[in-house]
Structure 1
């Protein structure tokens, strides 16, 4: 069966569960945000503006080009565009830390990017999808409810931020102890949902798994490269380049999966791209962070300064 005709089956209860899990993940990010993160934006406006532009302009544009060049099925192409328009996930801060990157800059960009996504994401998906005839046709088939998507993104991102930031400011001691557990529970629950949902819908998707694996592998690698080289182009320091790399390369694909199931009836290609991205970008990010750490250690042992790593 063509992947554009495959529709994944999830119960209404499963969709509610996914939205709650996504809200918990965003809450974990919000609990880590401090007013000082926004002051970092004022101190390093070039880096933050570059990071936002790379995420919401450059990456979607490159993604459309990749989809057209590879001539992937329309549902996979639309899934790639949706992922590219998602805000960064909280894992980007962890990966930046492991890679010896600028964690303060990463946290600032994560906070700002997620808030920007509330307004920008629905518009961005509609705009970039309209540039390709195949994805534009799919968008017409599903008659995307931009207002509904805006409300859902607002509930999943805006409400956790509105709750989490005041709690972190009012009860710092308790929140510092609870935050790691909130973040771990959210991530594990999302991975469990992805694995269970994929397993229960594997039959009609089995013949397309190889294509989805290769497309996500290439797309994720290019997203990481877009982040690094766009930061290098404006001459940010190495630690900032690594932060921007993971802000652009680590997307909140759980949000993309939730939007796919809600507004695109669980379209197979879209859902599988978002689901596999959610797993692969963590693995790829950990591998890249480990490579950078080893490279830094070798340079330190040799008495060399840390230079551009790619």
Structure 2
């Protein structure tokens, strides 16, 4: 079991490498990864179940302790990235399916990888976990509403269908994880130790499936989509930091807000796009997953060198 835990930690620490490697393999050998498309939704549910296993009461006590900071983070998450996605689609006159895919990933909540990046960047981890938890729990209502509001001019969007999908993909697995955690107590710790391995395998499989299913379209439009993804992520990271500065947050919390805003739950985006639109609409989410797992560690390294004022993090 120690070997499995060690493998889990190694795979978790080299997440970006595996996502990039299997995205490339799926592009050049798509037939080998096409069967994975049927597993996109169950794999996302498995990731969310793992999140439920790790959520604790302390993650929500932060909401009561610093409600304004958490609210700023949640609003920044659900305003900056969706609005930025819509603006990029307009300015670049993106084709309908690509535009919907970009908006979709922009409307998703933050991903759990942001918590790890915040820790490495010496940001405010408690605030990061709280923002991720709250945005994820709000996602069944807020994400479909935003997609309907911003993407309907390109393709028809069903709020009710997306609401039900996110309930099944996100909320129910998280609730199940919380129930299992409550029932098993300390015995769940062993499962938590191998969660990085399960999460990485699941995300890698989702990305590989999307890339394989859209290989021809990526070959045709991949550079355009990648450019939009890089702009979306980079500007989002910058605007998140700026939002923290405008609200007078200390350095550790500015780092946190930057990472929370810029890093999305791209697995959810890929699953929703595959279920409700087309394989091409899922490509921005897949490429976002590849890119933000490269840009996140790079930015966290820069932020780490900026240091922090320990007195500030308690504000």
After superposition, the Cα gap between the structure-2 partners of 1:201 and 1:79, relative to the gap in structure 1 and judged at 3 Å, is: closer
Tell me if the contact between 1:29 and 1:183 (Cα under 8 Å) persists in the aligned partners.
no
Q: Does 1:175 align with 2:188?
A: yes
Structure-2-length-normalised TM-score: 0.82
Tell me if the contact between 1:41 and 1:108 (Cα under 8 Å) persists in the aligned partners.
yes
Tell me if the contact between 1:30 and 1:111 (Cα under 8 Å) persists in the aligned partners.
no
Partners in 2 of 1:189 and 1:153 — Cα distance? 17
Tell me if the contact between 1:191 and 1:279 (Cα under 8 Å) persists in the aligned partners.
no
Q: Does 1:271 align with 2:293?
A: no
In the alignment, which of 149, 152, 155 is matched to residue 139 of structure 1? 155
Partners in 2 of 1:235 and 1:244 — Cα distance? 12
After superposition, the Cα gap between the structure-2 partners of 1:235 and 1:261, relative to the gap in structure 1 and judged at 3 Å, is: same
The secondary structure found in structure 1 opposite 2:249 is coil
Q: Does 1:88 align with 2:88?
A: no
Shift of 1:155: 0.9
Please identify, of 252-261 and 71-80, the stretch whose mean Cα deviation from structure 2 is larger: 71-80
Partners in 2 of 1:162 and 1:203 — Cα distance? 38
Residue 123 of structure 1 corresponds to 145
Q: Does 1:291 align with 2:299?
A: no
Q: Does 1:37 align with 2:46?
A: no
Q: Give the alignment of 1:1-310 within 5 angstroms.
A: 14-130=36-152, 136=153, 138-140=154-156, 144-199=157-212, 201-266=214-279, 268=280, 270-296=281-307
Partners in 2 of 1:116 and 1:243 — Cα distance? 19
Partners in 2 of 1:305 and 1:169 — Cα distance? 34
Tell me if the contact between 1:47 and 1:231 (Cα under 8 Å) persists in the aligned partners.
no
- Over aligned residue pairs, what C-alpha RMSD do you find? 2.5
Shift of 1:253: 1.1
In the alignment of these two chains, the number of paired residues is 283
Shift of 1:14: 4.2
Partners in 2 of 1:187 and 1:240 — Cα distance? 27
After superposition, the Cα gap between the structure-2 partners of 1:13 and 1:155, relative to the gap in structure 1 and judged at 3 Å, is: farther
Q: Per-residue displacement from partner, 1:31-83 (whole Å, max 9, x unpaired)?
A: 22111211110111111111111111232122222222222223222211101
Unaligned runs of 5+ in 2: 1-29
Shift of 1:188: 2.1
Tell me if the contact between 2:86 and 2:103 (Cα under 8 Å) persists in the aligned partners.
yes
After superposition, the Cα gap between the structure-2 partners of 1:239 and 1:175, relative to the gap in structure 1 and judged at 3 Å, is: farther
Structure-1-length-normalised TM-score: 0.83
**Segments ≥4 residues shifted beyond 4 Å:** 11-16, 304-307
Partners in 2 of 1:105 and 1:49 — Cα distance? 10
After superposition, the Cα gap between the structure-2 partners of 1:12 and 1:196, relative to the gap in structure 1 and judged at 3 Å, is: closer
Shift of 1:123: 1.0
